Amino acid sequence: MGGNKLGAIGGSPILAWYQREFEERLNSGDARLMIIGYGFRDQHINEVVVKAVLDRGLKMFVVAPEGAEIARAANSSGGAAIYAPSSLDDAFERGLLGASRRGLSEIFSGGSELTKLYRFLDS
């Protein structure tokens, strides 16, 4: 979509609908969000996730090579001498129930990572 994602979303009825549905679903209460391969670099998505965690108690499970550290990796101050936590860091503190650094094929081959994933889905 390029660098003007909000403009593209606003200019497309289907993308605007997707955005509204995403926000409504995350804020519906008792929502769970499994995040697979998303790097937390899109502010408009992060804002929806953070708001749902802080306001509605959204719970998350992340599948990414960085695991639970992905919010820190996405933080623009991550490489600075003094780390400044962001609202996304706060949302991870409050809403992250689990994470896996494994790839999906490894997770679904069985074992403890699949058990973690099922625990999240059943919670």
Residue range 104-123, pLDDT digits in tens: 999 999 889 999 988 998 87
3-class SS of residue 60: strand
Cα 74–chain centre separation: 11
Write down the pLDDT at residue 30: 85
Beta bridge partners of 96: 60
pLDDT > 70 in the chain, percent = 89
- Cα(89)–Cα(102) distance, integer angstroms: 21
Determine the structural domain holding residue 88 and report its residue range.
5-122
> What pLDDT is stored for residue 3 in this prediction?
62
Say how many domains are in the chain. Answer: 1
Residue tagged 């999240």 (tokens): 120
Instruction: Give the C-alpha separation, 60 to 81, whole Å.
Output: 29
Residue 100 in 3-state DSSP?
Answer: strand
pLDDT of 94 > 80? The answer is yes
